[in-house]
Amino acid sequence: MRVDAVKPNEYNRIRVEPLTGSIGAEIANVDLRELDDELIAELQDAWMAHKVLFFRDQHLSQAEHVAYGRALGELEIHPFAPNVDDHPEILVLESTAENFYAAETWHSDVTFRECPPLGSVLIGRIVPPYGGDTCFANMEMAYERLPDDVKEQIDGRFAIHSYVKAFGRHMSERKRAEAAEQYPDQKHPIVRTHPVTGRQSLYVNRIFTLTIDGMTPDESRSLRQRLYDEASRPEYQCRFRWRPESTAQWDNRCTQHYAVPDHGGMHRRMERVTLIGDRPF
């Protein structure tokens, strides 16, 4: 079913409660451990319509987390970040007072790959009593609202994406060379077309985009800053407050996200499975 044919709450099995007029919806009346074809189809329709889905009180084991991800598509293993030993598909995102971590920059995941992820399912395993929210932004809206002259400037252009800024800084020279051979820089369109909905979205991000192909460094820097600023406008966003066993599922092809590092060093552990995507066009 095309997304445009789905109207809010026209579902048989699930209840959909939008978070904002731009992006995100909380899904009720569902247990992600009990799946069938009709339920998966309704969740897919809601996902394409709202781009990010949120679920409360989903008591998924790690094996059930992997099983739900596989119901949506084939899973990948992150090339650099730590995984769960028994379930290598699960990426661990953990922060403590001794080792504070947060992805506090707007980004889409792993865009340095030839085929970046389709999307992800993230579960809050250990959640601080306050802080540590995650924000999500609608990149279709960010593109749609660009001035016409900027749209003309980026039409048909490509950006270069690399792992270096995010993961290469702490590698030895030998490790960087090995990683560069395995994950060479990728050239992706600045304006990406969604393979399901056909909608266009802005597809550059601060973490992985190095430069714009065919531009001087100054030209590239100026244009990228203009696009990054547009991508981070509050009116394109929603903000999710985590509780233990809450779950977020986002479409990596048309969104960006930002983990807010305001939980004061308290323990926060998130676990994520990530779906293999296709080459952007």
Q: How many CB atoms lie within 10 A of CB 129?
A: 8
Looking at the predicted structure, is the pLDDT value of residue 67 above 80? yes
Beta carbons of 74 and 275 less than 8 angstroms apart: yes
267 annotated active-site: no
272 annotated active-site: yes
Measured between its terminal Cα atoms, the distance across the chain in Å is 21
Q: What is the DSSP string of 211-273?
A: EETTS-HHHHHHHHHHHHHHHT-GGGEEEE---TT-EEEEETTSEEEEE---STT--EEEEEE
Catalytic residue among 65, 78, 257, 263: 257
Looking at the predicted structure, is the pLDDT value of residue 3 above 60? no
Catalytic residue among 50, 78, 107, 125: 107
Report the pLDDT averaged over residues 200-228.
97
Catalytic residue among 125, 161, 194, 272: 272
pLDDT for res 109 = 96
157 annotated active-site: no
15 annotated active-site: no
Catalytic residue among 109, 125, 188, 268: 109
Beta carbons of 123 and 269 less than 8 angstroms apart: no
What is the C-alpha separation between 180 and 167, in angstroms, rounded? 11
pLDDT for res 8 = 52
Looking at the predicted structure, is the pLDDT value of residue 79 above 50? yes
Q: How confident is the model at residue 166 (pLDDT cuts 50, 70, 90)?
A: confident
Q: How confident is the model at residue 98 (pLDDT cuts 50, 70, 90)?
A: confident
Q: Give the pLDDT confidence of 11-54 residue by residue, as tens digits.
A: 999 999 999 999 999 999 999 999 999 999 999 999 999 999 99
β-strands 75-76, 52-55: how paired? unpaired
